[in-house]
């Protein structure tokens, strides 16, 4: 089997090029390497967790607390708001799992940025 025939039978599921046969993968080698994700430190996970905690508290209050239906026109506001918060929390967590935030492999350190609010380091001996 020649190299050209072998290339036609390879798995192109990770190609970032077009779907046309015979086109080459134009992505650099670094893009094919597994990337590091933000994981638990993704802000969407924190938002989802906080909304979920508030949602659980409201659902519990709606089920076991004083419903005060006369104030809300016969609607259990705590229960329905808690269910809505739980749904939004699950949406945030699912979003973070489906499209994780990629962390760059290498970030150049900022040695001195004139726009930062902290004063610049002065050389010793002045």
Residues in the chain with pLDDT < 70? 1-35, 107, 109-110, 113, 118-123, 125-126
Total domains in the fold of the chain: 1
Q: What is the residue range of 75's domain?
A: 38-100
* Confidence (pLDDT) at 122: 67
* Confidence (pLDDT) at 111: 73
* Confidence (pLDDT) at 92: 95
Q: Is 70 inside any structural domain?
A: yes
Q: Is 6 inside any structural domain?
A: no
pTM of the model: 0.56
Tell me if 106 sits within 8 A of 54, measured CB to CB: no
CA–CA separation, 82 vs 67, rounded Å? 13
* Confidence (pLDDT) at 73: 92
Q: Is 116 inside any structural domain?
A: no
Q: Is 118 inside any structural domain?
A: no
Q: Is 43 inside any structural domain?
A: yes
Helices 77-98 & 43-64, crossing angle to 10 degrees?
Answer: 160
Q: Is 124 inside any structural domain?
A: no
């Amino acid at each position: 089997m020649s190299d050209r025939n072998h290339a036609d039978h390879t798995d192109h599921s990770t190609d970032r090029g077009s779907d046309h046969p015979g086109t080459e993968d134009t992505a650099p080698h670094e893009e094919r390497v597994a990337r590091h994700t933000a994981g638990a430190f993704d802000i969407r996970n924190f938002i989802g967790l906080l909304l979920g905690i508030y949602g659980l508290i409201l659902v519990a209050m709606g089920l076991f607390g004083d419903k005060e239906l006369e104030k809300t026109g016969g609607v259990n506001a705590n229960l329905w708001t808690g269910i809505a918060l739980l749904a939004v929390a699950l949406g945030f967590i699912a979003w973070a799992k489906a499209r994780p935030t990629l962390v760059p492999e290498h970030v150049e350190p900022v040695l001195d940025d004139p726009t930062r609010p902290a004063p610049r380091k002065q050389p010793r001996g002045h």
